């Protein structure tokens, strides 16, 4: 039986878009146990949301599965861990009153109902404010005269909410905080001049609060951001086996954990996180020369500025097709899981015709700010003479998923002349060996590298941040810690763009941009019940 020193472990729990996953790592940063719980958003009264009660159900299920795995492998009760970190899907809107009561349902990153407020704030700050940022949601609620706004005492994100409830600490990691309100890279805190401008704009409303008062205080990676309370320990482990008092690192968003998981913390490094949504992150050497509504400027968990291309839609449309194919297979009496189908379909995409058989797809499950859509209608279009093969169908699906990302990336490479040697990919899209990686490289015309840890993603990255807080004591930068401790033995494989693949994608993009006019017509004429 292997031995495990629980005091030298770290637990990362991430509340992603489709699953809540818990990962425990040892002192060598290897996963020694994991557990997960599947969940999904609901579209209720025009809002994409999750029931926060399911947060605790899912967290407990994932933790119980992890604890059972550790028990089976090491014959150990999970009585303690060295440190814990919580992360979640980025930003969104979670307001609470002074008694801790949730004022409105959780408004997730997927909502694109903040176009007016985002545009006004972008002009006010001369800094791009994306639709999903917390400050955009707050100001939109103000513009819409929502009654709850005057009662707000605290505004946070999903990761900040969980951390608060298990530790009594209302804090947030700087990377996640940079998606609530812009960060000043000099002070590594909320931008003071923008805070002033916002408060000035709100002065006529006579609210009792100022925006700084309701935002979470910021902490950087490497700091201890509280400890697990007795109540928090029971919320995580209802059996009472896990002790309280365990140190917690600052809560982060899934963008920050993706940067850590791919060692993309230094300037000129970059990563792509590809799952339900997709985003590319490039750590900047200096500020952009201009602001663009397609590009977010956020920070790493250690407060370094990052250019981010975020697209609301990536695999949601593909996932629905996979579910349908699974139904068809099950009708034959065969038993196959969705992951196997996904792998088979991705591999088949490599056999497609260079023109995808004349098939073009729009994967907008929800709105897509980069191309100016507030709503989405998944759409597949083919001509009478199109070659409807499985390979062509899947290639069109994958190209469609990458297309909006390409539009944003072109701004960085062409308008800002940002040079990227390669980008590290992680997330479920890169699990199938070579396929997603090659098609992404061809589409972006940039080499794509994948590490052996690529499929671990955010929860592993969050566990690394927890271990960093436990080990750091303020002596090492996060980049130094990752380079010299975590990634010394982890291998990566790089695939380069292929000429024919790049040409195929360029031709597809011409059709895709024309299809967006059809997408707009579908939104105008086909309403969601």
Looking up residue 132, the CATH number of its domain turns out to be: 3.30.420.40
Q: Are residues 361 and 503 located together in one domain of the fold? A: yes
Q: Are residues 202 and 334 located together in one domain of the fold? A: no
- Helix, strand, or coil here: 228? coil
Confidence of residue 456 (pLDDT cuts 50, 70, 90): low
Question: Cα(69)–Cα(413) distance, rounded to whole angstroms?
Answer: 45
How big, in percent rounded to 5, are the helix, strand and coil portions of the chain?
40, 20, 40
Q: Does residue 373 lie within any of the structural domains?
A: yes
Is pLDDT at 528 greater than 80 in this prediction? Answer: no
Which of 166, 191, 214 terminates a domain? The answer is: 214
- The average confidence (pLDDT) of the chain is 92
Is pLDDT at 298 greater than 60 in this prediction? Answer: yes
H helix runs in 350-473, sequence order: 390-410, 435-444, 457-472
Average pLDDT (67-93) is: 95
What are the C-alpha distances in Å from 472 to residues 331, 485, 514? 55, 11, 52
Report the pLDDT value the prediction gives residue 363, as an integer from 0 to 100: 95
Q: For 374, which DSSP code?
A: S
Report the pLDDT value the prediction gives residue 454, as an integer from 0 to 100: 59
CA dihedral 401, 402, 408, 409 (to 10 degrees): 160
Is pLDDT at 111 greater than 90 in this prediction? Answer: no
Look up residue 468 and give its two tokens. Answer: 């960093």
Give the containing element (helix H, strand E) for 200: helix 192-202
Is pLDDT at 136 greater than 60 in this prediction? Answer: yes
Is pLDDT at 457 greater than 80 in this prediction? Answer: no
Report the pLDDT value the prediction gives residue 100, as an integer from 0 to 100: 95
Report the pLDDT value the prediction gives residue 93, as an integer from 0 to 100: 96
Q: Are residues 435 and 320 located together in one domain of the fold? A: yes
Q: Does residue 9 lie within any of the structural domains?
A: no
Say if CB 29 and CB 103 are below 8 A apart.
no
Look up residue 435 and give its two tokens. Answer: 């396929």
Percent of the chain with pLDDT over 70: 98
Q: Are residues 382 and 513 located together in one domain of the fold? A: yes
CB neighbourhood size of 112 (10 A): 21
Report the pLDDT value the prediction gives residue 287, as an integer from 0 to 100: 83
Give the containing element (helix H, strand E) for 518: helix 499-525
Q: Does residue 329 lie within any of the structural domains?
A: yes
Average pLDDT (332-353) is: 92
Q: Does residue 249 lie within any of the structural domains?
A: no
Residue 458's nearest CA partner among 7, 85, 171 is 85
Report the pLDDT value the prediction gives residue 453, as an integer from 0 to 100: 65
Is pLDDT at 474 greater than 60 in this prediction? Answer: no
Is pLDDT at 455 greater than 80 in this prediction? Answer: no
Average pLDDT (55-59) is: 97
Q: Are residues 369 and 508 located together in one domain of the fold? A: yes
Q: At what angle do helices 435-444 and 390-410 cross, to 10 degrees?
A: 50
Q: For 304, which DSSP code?
A: -
Report the pLDDT value the prediction gives residue 372, as an integer from 0 to 100: 87
Average pLDDT (147-172) is: 97
pLDDT tens digits for 245-277?
Answer: 999 999 999 889 988 988 888 888 888 988 888
Question: Cα(362)–Cα(509) distance, rounded to whole angstroms?
Answer: 11
Q: Does residue 259 lie within any of the structural domains?
A: no
Report the pLDDT value the prediction gives residue 369, as an integer from 0 to 100: 83
H helix runs in 411-456, sequence order: 435-444
Question: Cα(345)–Cα(295) distance, rounded to whole angstroms?
Answer: 31
Look up residue 353 and give its two tokens. Answer: 């015709």
Question: Cα(342)–Cα(44) distance, rounded to whole angstroms?
Answer: 29
Report the pLDDT value the prediction gives residue 413, as an integer from 0 to 100: 86
Is pLDDT at 189 greater than 90 in this prediction? Answer: yes
Report the pLDDT value the prediction gives residue 285, as an integer from 0 to 100: 83
- How many structural domains is the chain composed of? 2
Report the pLDDT value the prediction gives residue 124, as an integer from 0 to 100: 97
Is pLDDT at 420 greater than 90 in this prediction? Answer: no
Say if CB 159 and CB 179 are below 8 A apart.
no
Supply the Cα-derived Rg of the chain in whole angstroms.
22
Q: Are residues 209 and 346 located together in one domain of the fold? A: no
Report the pLDDT value the prediction gives residue 312, as an integer from 0 to 100: 87
Is pLDDT at 1 greater than 70 in this prediction? Answer: no
Percent of the chain with pLDDT over 90: 73
Is pLDDT at 388 greater than 90 in this prediction? Answer: yes
Q: Does residue 255 lie within any of the structural domains?
A: no
Residue 486's nearest CA partner among 26, 28, 165, 103 is 28
Say if CB 218 and CB 190 are below 8 A apart.
yes
Q: Which residues neighbour 303 within 8 Å (Cβ) at sequence distance 6 or greater?
A: 174, 175, 183, 185, 188, 220
Average pLDDT (455-481) is: 85
Is pLDDT at 153 greater than 60 in this prediction? Answer: yes
Q: Does residue 400 lie within any of the structural domains?
A: yes
Average pLDDT (357-367) is: 94
Q: Are residues 321 and 445 located together in one domain of the fold? A: yes
DSSP string, 102-136: B-S--B-TT----HHHHHHHHHHHTS---TTSHHH
Give the containing element (helix H, strand E) for 167: helix 158-167
DSSP string, 505-516: HHHHHHHHHHHH
Does the pTM of the predicted model rise above 0.95?
no
pLDDT tens digits for 429-449?
Answer: 888 888 999 999 999 999 999
- Helix, strand, or coil here: 286? coil
What is the extent of the structural domain holding 402?
A: 316-452+498-525
What are the C-alpha distances in Å from 280 to residues 20, 46, 86? 22, 28, 22
pLDDT tens digits for 225-234?
Answer: 999 999 999 9
Residue 95: phi and psi, rounded to 5, are: -95, 145
Q: Does residue 14 lie within any of the structural domains?
A: no
């Amino acid at each position: 039986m292997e031995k495990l020193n629980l005091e030298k472990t770290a637990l990362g729990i991430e509340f992603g878009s489709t699953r809540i996953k818990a990962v425990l790592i040892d002192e060598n940063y290897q996963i020694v146990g994991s557990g997960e719980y599947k969940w999904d958003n609901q579209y209720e009264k025009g809002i994409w949301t999750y029931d926060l009660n399911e947060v605790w159900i899912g967290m407990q299920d994932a933790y119980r599965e992890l604890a059972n795995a550790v028990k089976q492998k090491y014959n150990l009760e999970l009585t303690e861990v060295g440190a814990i970190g919580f992360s979640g899907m980025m930003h969104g809107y979670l307001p609470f009153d002074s008694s801790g009561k949730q004022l409105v349902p959780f408004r997730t990153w997927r909502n694109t109902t903040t176009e007016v407020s985002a545009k006004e704030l972008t002009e006010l700050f001369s800094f791009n404010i994306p639709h999903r940022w917390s400050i955009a949601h707050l100001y939109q609620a103000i513009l819409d005269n929502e009654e709850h706004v005057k009662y707000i005492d605290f505004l946070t994100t999903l990761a900040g909410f969980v951390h608060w409830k298990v530790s009594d600490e209302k804090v947030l990691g700087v990377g996640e905080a940079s998606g609530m309100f812009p960060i000043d890279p000099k002070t590594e805190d909320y931008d003071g001049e923008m805070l002033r401008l916002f408060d000035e704009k709100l002065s006529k409303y006579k609210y009792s609060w100022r925006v700084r008062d309701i935002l979470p205080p910021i902490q950087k990676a490497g700091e201890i951001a509280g400890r697990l309370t007795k109540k928090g320990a029971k919320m995580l482990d209802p059996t009472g086996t896990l002790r309280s008092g365990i140190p917690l690192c600052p809560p982060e968003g899934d963008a920050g954990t993706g940067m850590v998981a791919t060692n993309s913390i230094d300037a000129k490094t970059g990563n792509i996180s590809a799952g339900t949504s997709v985003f590319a992150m490039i750590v900047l050497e200096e500020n952009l020369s201009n602001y663009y509504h397609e590009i977010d400027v956020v920070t790493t968990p250690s407060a370094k500025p990052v250019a981010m291309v975020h697209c609301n839609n990536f695999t949601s449309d593909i996932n629905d097709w996979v579910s349908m194919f699974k139904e068809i297979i099950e009708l034959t009496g065969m038993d196959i899981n969705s992951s196997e189908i996904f792998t088979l379909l991705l591999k088949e995409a490599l056999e497609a015709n260079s023109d995808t058989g004349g098939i073009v797809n729009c994967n907008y499950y929800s709105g897509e700010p980069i191309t100016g859509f507030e709503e989405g209608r998944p759409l597949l279009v083919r001509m009478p003479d199109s070659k409807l093969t499985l390979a062509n169908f899947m290639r069109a699906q994958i190209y469609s998923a990458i297309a909006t990302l390409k539009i944003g990336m072109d701004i960085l490479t062409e308008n800002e002349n940002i040079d990227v040697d390669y980008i590290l990919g992680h997330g479920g899209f890169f699990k199938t060996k070579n396929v997603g990686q090659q098609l992404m490289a061809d589409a972006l015309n940039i080499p794509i590298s994948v590490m052996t840890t690529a499929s671990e993603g955010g929860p592993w990255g969050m566990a690394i941040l927890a271990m960093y807080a436990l080990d750091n004591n303020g002596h090492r930068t996060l980049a130094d810690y990752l380079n010299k401790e975590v990634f010394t033995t982890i291998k990566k494989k790089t695939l380069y763009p292929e000429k024919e693949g790049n040409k195929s994608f360029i031709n597809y993009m011409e059709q895709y941009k024309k299809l967006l006019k059809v997408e707009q017509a579908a939104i105008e004429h086909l309403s969601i019940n």
